[in-house]
A and B are shown apart, each in its own frame.
Chain A
Amino acid sequence: MNLRPDPTFYPTPQMAMQAPVETLAFTLMLSPDGSQPDGLAVVDVDPNSDTYGQIVHSLFMPNKGDEFHHFGWNACSSALSPLTGHAFLERRYLIIPGIRSSRIYIIDVKEPLKAKIHKIIEPEELKAKTGYSRPHTIHCGPEGIYVSTLGGGGEDGTDGPPGIFIMNCETFEILGRYEMDRGAQEKHYDFWWNLPRDYMVSSEWGLPPQFENGVVPEDLLSNKYGHSIHFWDLRARKNIQTIDLGENHQMALEIRPAHDPAKEYGFCGVVVDTTNLQGAIFTWWRKEDGTFEAKKTVTIDPVPADADDLPELLKGFGAVPPLVTDIDLSLDDKYLYVACWGLGEMHQYDVSDPMNPVLAGKVEIGGIVKKTPHPNGKDFGYGPQMVEISRDGKRVYWTNSLYSTWDDQFYPGDRGAAMVCADVGTNGGLTLNENFWVEFPEGYRSHQIRLEGGDCSTDSFCYPSV
């Protein structure tokens, strides 16, 4: 406990943008075949440093087969909520779940170059206390740390629906399930909220048998993956509305609400429309009467391709689907970054008018067919995937792996881990930084990135920017 609020907690997104820039990034490394333990890489992102773009410290776990995916902080700007009075927590621990093992690591990064394991929560404990498995997204909120899960109970995670559970933000003790009334929610993926307006939004990927051994083409073509988003009364823990985006909109993944809590809208990315292989962005918003609505505001077309250039899975379609697998919104709510993992493109949309996004910039790198190399000449395996934006909105970082078994279906063979950075122009536009290229250890892939002191997909703000 501090005597003063942690200096990396900001009342408003605007104040977070004016904070000192990041000098370190934390990136997850996974061993796709589970032959080596997964790890956390500490990457130097300070351009004035001699070790710029290098991994300056790595911490490997004592177990194998965890499959690291998403992770988050023990505390963020939400600690400044005047309602909960947790202002004296420290942003000090990274909560890293193993999506395959259901094990959760609490890593102490107070001294990033000496990052160490603080606590390990074994899968048995998680399952016994919550009936959930396959932990995923982390957010700090009113009642502690909220963690979404993709699986329910039982060996294959289909015994009961997945959901969210809550952890104590100081002891990391699992407190129990979040939901009191889940309504129509049966699948899970991401979630986020608007704290002062007291609502939460959650999304759906699929149940563990639909993703653990790779995408199941029959399930996808018969629209059995998730295609709904759910709206919750956050503190009453109750599902108040479910919006079906249409069953052809398969895999509604990342939820990105406007950071400014005075704004009552947000975005959700859809991986693929099974009628035409398009990727899509939906804008959702809250109406005067407190109910929600959602509308498709961006579509990204597939690109025709020769069957010989396509992996087995896509040969029959004669086209590369964009595969919108991650999206991220800058802290000023101006630019939405959309990773098109199949095409090998990172799109930047100006979403100043959230109902009419306009393509403002684009970077081509990797891709199933295009295989565009990095400007430094090196091959970028897979496509742009997990994306993270600096607090000031000037730099965008991304990695290239989606999920071990899916990587192998869409991009057969091992193509190596990557992490790159692009600079944002003053009036939009996106250019890859030639000098930033991270070399990862052999046999690893890279997934989510977190920036020292908070970034654009961790912190929840309690006061509007003025």
Chain B
Amino acid sequence: MNTAASLWSAVVVSGIYHGVNPGMGWPLAVSAALMARNAGNLYKALAALAVGHLLAMAAILFPFSALMILVEWQVQIQTGAALLVIALGVYLLINRRHPRFLARVPPSRLALWSFLAAMAHGAGLMLVPIYLGICGTLETDAGHAAAYSLMWNNATAALAVALAHTGAMVLAGGAIAVGVYYWLGLSFLQKSWFNLDLIWALSLILVGSIALITAH
């Protein structure tokens, strides 16, 4: 597998990882359908969660895509981003408290909740090193291209990364939500909900570290 292919699979795998994590919202889709006694609400809730997650990805990736036009600073940017991701991982490792502001979001605002949950847990930031790697693979084709087309390529890549990641997230989370709603029942929630706080923080550190090593 070449670099581009492995980076794109990392985008999809991280999407699946976010999707199956109850903390990113699939139980809300089950709850929405049960409360309304209408399966349609499950899909509406999933759509709202997807929109929020997509926006959170975009809000993090686009600023980096703009930065990447500074081609000669590429290594520094990658190093900085990797350090940022590691720093967040270390912070989440030390501070295990849950962000209180999420508790103030009303249950009717699922997209906002999903956006804030992804931001608070650094779900977008986790993608940054992977995304920067993908920009690097694009660069070989566009090495001598004008700044404008470089920016365009980076922006399209950011959009593609956000879409692929969110798509994988919604499919994975949606599959579990549908499974629980129709077949598995809510006891699945009790049995399958693992405390991922530690693993999540470690994944951020891992992604950052790999990026740090490969950037140099």
Q: Which A residues have a C-beta under 8 Å from some C-beta of B?
A: 1-5, 7, 9-12, 15, 80, 82-88, 142-144, 170, 195-198, 233, 235-236, 261-262, 462-464, 466
Q: Which A residues are CB-close (under 8 A) to B98?
A: 84-86
Q: Is the Cβ of B194 less than 8 Å from the Cβ of A84?
A: no
Q: Nearest 10 A-B pairs (CB), nearest first? A: A82-B27, A11-B186, A142-B103, A88-B195, A143-B103, A82-B28, A3-B195, A85-B23, A464-B34, A235-B106
Q: Is the Cβ of B189 less than 8 Å from the Cβ of A262?
A: no
Q: Is the Cβ of B31 less than 8 Å from the Cβ of A196?
A: yes
Q: Can you show 27 pairs from A to B with CB atoms below 8 A apart?
A: A1-B96, A1-B197, A3-B195, A4-B193, A5-B189, A5-B190, A5-B193, A11-B190, A12-B186, A15-B187, A80-B193, A82-B30, A83-B103, A83-B107, A84-B103, A85-B98, A87-B22, A87-B193, A142-B103, A142-B104, A196-B31, A235-B106, A236-B106, A261-B35, A463-B30, A463-B186, A464-B34
Q: Is the Cβ of A83 less than 8 Å from the Cβ of B35?
A: no
B100 at the interface (CB under 8 A from A): yes
Q: Is the Cβ of B35 less than 8 Å from the Cβ of A464?
A: yes
The CA of A236 and the CA of B31, in the complex, are separated in Å by 21
One of A12, A15, A198 near B107 (C-beta < 8 A): A198
Q: Is the Cβ of A2 less than 8 Å from the Cβ of B195?
A: yes
Closest to A236 in B: B106
**CB of B146 to closest CB in A, whole Å:** 46
**CB of A189 to closest CB in B, whole Å:** 24
For chain B, the bracket of interface size reads: 20 to 34
One of B100, B108, B113 near A198 (C-beta < 8 A): B108
Given contact pairs A143-B100, A143-B103, A198-B106, A83 touches B34 in the complex (Cβ within 8 A): no
**CB of A95 to closest CB in B, whole Å:** 19
**CB of B180 to closest CB in A, whole Å:** 10
Q: Which B residues are CB-close (under 8 A) to A235?
A: 103-106
Which of B166-206 touch A at CB < 8 Å? 185-187, 189-191, 193-195, 197
Closest to B36 in A: A262
**CB of B199 to closest CB in A, whole Å:** 10
- Tell me whether chain B's interface is mostly helix, strand or loop, or mixed: helix
Closest to A462 in B: B31
- Most interface-central of B34, B35, B37 (chain A CB within 10 A): B34
**CB of A66 to closest CB in B, whole Å:** 30
Which of B72-117 touch A at CB < 8 Å? 96-98, 100, 102-108, 113
Q: Which A residues are CB-close (under 8 A) to B35?
A: 196-197, 261-262, 464
**CB of A72 to closest CB in B, whole Å:** 18
**CB of B79 to closest CB in A, whole Å:** 32
**CB of A201 to closest CB in B, whole Å:** 17
